[in-house]
Every structure is written in structure tokens, then in C-alpha cells.
């Protein structure tokens, strides 16, 4: 368990922090690069998600803040897709009930992780720039996290549109993928527990209930 906790902490300090750092009090979004490619839908989703997380962070504390952030995640992030990606091939070994439990617990854990770190960030801005459209409804939105107490951080948002409207599915900080890092964390935990997904789900549910 200590290995999982350590890896989870490292995840939050690296790629997880990329998302979290976008949302602290005093954070603002600046649209640039020809008005973010003439307000491309993918860029708009990134901006709206950031704006609403800011509002939730400023207006609420504690459990209310977590609930507000979770609503933003559910509105603008494709949590089901992200959950499937983090489990990799193990997703196919889960029952419908396990999948429902995993996605629910994982969303709550994500919201709590973000909420815990809002107070650590002050005065950042994000400059949203070029949007690269790829096949199969995928767009990559380039942006820069401008820090008041450090150098700029390159962020890339992966946005997918599979018919339900554009949704964020990954954020990369300096090229490091949040989704792939979390996938490595989860798969390692599963393999250390006999190749079974149930212990991971139970752990996430326990964390979500605390």
C-alpha cells in the first residue's frame, strides 16, 4: 500500500498538478493565438472548464468546493473514457457493477485531489494558443501556464468529440500525460494485488469516503 500511496503522491505533484494548478484563486484564462484559432470548440471547452473551476474555488470551501469541482469535471471531462484508459486491458475484466463503482469512486477521488491543492496556487494565468486538429475527432490545445513565482509550464489538452460534444480527456505537463501516468499507477497496483481490479476499486472507494 505504501508504494501505491507514494506513487499516487508523485502523480499529484507532477501531471495531476498540471490540471490543479490551473484552478487556484487568482487564476485567469487568457485566450490568444488569433483568439484561440477563432474560438475553436476545443479551445472553448478548455476555457469554460477553467473559468468554472475558478468560480467553484472562489465561492466554496470544503465539501462544497469538492462538489463544485466534481460538477465541472463531469461537464467538461470525459471521465468514462479516462477511466477506461487508466485501467487499460483490465477494463475488459471488470463487471458492469465494478465499472460503475470504479468510475464513481475515481471521479470523487479526482475532485478531492484537486480541491486539496487550490490554496497552494496564486496569481497564475493560462495563455491558450494553437489548436491542432487530428483525425477521429481529436484536438490538441496548446497552452502555457504562466507562474508568478516560477518559469512558464507548457500544457497540452487533449479534447475528443465522439458525437457527444468536445470533452477533455487528458492534460500533459511538459509532455507528461496525466492519463498515462495514472494508468501506470493503477496497473502497478492491480498487478501487486494478484492481477485483480477489485482491490483497486475498494481502495479508491475508501479514499473517496474519507
The pLDDT, as a whole number, for residue 110 is 75
Q: What CATH number belongs to 2-205?
A: 3.10.450.710
Q: Looking at the whole model, is its pTM more than 0.85?
A: no
pLDDT recorded at residue 80: 92
For 46-50, which contacts have Cβ atoms below 8 Å and span 24 or more sequence positions?
46/128, 46/141, 46/143, 46/157, 46/159, 46/168, 47/128, 48/76, 49/75, 49/76, 49/77, 49/168, 50/22, 50/23, 50/126
Report percent pLDDT > 70 for the chain: 71
CA angle 126, 130, 136 (to 5 degrees): 115
**Residue spans per domain, the chain:** 2-205
Q: Which 3-state string (H, E, C) describes 103-122?
A: HHHHHHHHHHHHHHCHHHCC
What confidence score (pLDDT) does residue 49 get?
Answer: 79
Average pLDDT over residues 118-125: 53
Q: Rounded to whole angstroms, how far apart are CA atoms 30 and 38?
A: 14
pLDDT digits (tens, 9 = 90+) for 33-65: 445 444 789 998 987 877 777 677 767 777 888
pLDDT of residue 47: 79
Amino acid at each position: 500500500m505504501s508504494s501505491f500511496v507514494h506513487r499516487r503522491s508523485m502523480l499529484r505533484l507532477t501531471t495531476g498538478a498540471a490540471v490543479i494548478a490551473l484552478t487556484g484563486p487568482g487564476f485567469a484564462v487568457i485566450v490568444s493565438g488569433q483568439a484561440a484559432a477563432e474560438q475553436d470548440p476545443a479551445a472553448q471547452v478548455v476555457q469554460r472548464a477553467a473559468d468554472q473551476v475558478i468560480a467553484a474555488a472562489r465561492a466554496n470551501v470544503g465539501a462544497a468546493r469538492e462538489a463544485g469541482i466534481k460538477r465541472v469535471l463531469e461537464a467538461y471531462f470525459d471521465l468514462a473514457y479516462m477511466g477506461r484508459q487508466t485501467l487499460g486491458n483490465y477494463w475488459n475484466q471488470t463487471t458492469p457493477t465494478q465499472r460503475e463503482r470504479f468510475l464513481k469512486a475515481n471521479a470523487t477521488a479526482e475532485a478531492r485531489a484537486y480541491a486539496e491543492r487550490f490554496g497552494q496556487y496564486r496569481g497564475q494565468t493560462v495563455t491558450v494558443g494553437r489548436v491542432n486538429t487530428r483525425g477521429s475527432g481529436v484536438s490538441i490545445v496548446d497552452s502555457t501556464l504562466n507562474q508568478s513565482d516560477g518559469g512558464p509550464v507548457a500544457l497540452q489538452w487533449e479534447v475528443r468529440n465522439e458525437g457527444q460534444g468536445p470533452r477533455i480527456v487528458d492534460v500533459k505537463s511538459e509532455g507528461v500525460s496525466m492519463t498515462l501516468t495514472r494508468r501506470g499507477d493503477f496497473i502497478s497496483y492491480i498487478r501487486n494485488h494478484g492481477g485483480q481490479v477489485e482491490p483497486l476499486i475498494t481502495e479508491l472507494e475508501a479514499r473517496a469516503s474519507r
